[in-house]
Structure 1
């Protein structure tokens, strides 16, 4: 049995959606007459052998954050049940908290250029800035 979902297409991704919408797909030579379907937070629950729905659509709403598991088995016209298939989906509607361990610094208002000064070590009296290396003009 295959389950596809329009609301939670990847079983490993987390979704900010509390309603799961999907479709079951089972085939059998004699035809499928119904499905046993369960939803919980355990990955191993058996779907059972009681038909809970005859359509392939599944819709579970109001899911809380966490990993949820849909369990489904199909019943054929001969009365035989398929093994239970387990499909998980993840719900995460909680925004992350503020990062911790950060230290604030004074706000900078605009960008200021470094002050311009005359280099005392250079006889050429050339201008340098505080972010440039000292003048290497050959003068002491």
Structure 2
């Protein structure tokens, strides 16, 4: 909790909500990142420019931010193999759950989707259990 920054967290949440809302209003599509990326990689998908632009904006935002303030350094408490395994598990989970945190958590919950509520409860529970096991059972702490 020593690194908790409520004002920047609030500003980030507002920007995520605005971006997701604007994307739906302008394109009629949900701004779920795994769905956008997955459909962008498929041949013949519609709206590729919109989807690509949205994803490019996610990459460009920290680069733009650097013009005004330094970007905090990324620190990982795990090795490369663990990070690759975690990324693959998240990827499998987003396909199995038909969406990710942005699709279900931001866009689905804001539309009062019961399917998204169940998905959010499941991935939050899985995250809590994973952290508990990793911090308390595997490390003996």
Report the TM-score when normalising by structure 2.
Answer: 0.20
Larger RCO (alpha carbons 8 Å, 6+ apart): 2
Structure with max Cα Rg = 1
- Identify, as 1 or 2, the structure richer in strand: 1
- Identify, as 1 or 2, the structure richer in helix: 2
Report the TM-score when normalising by structure 1.
Answer: 0.20
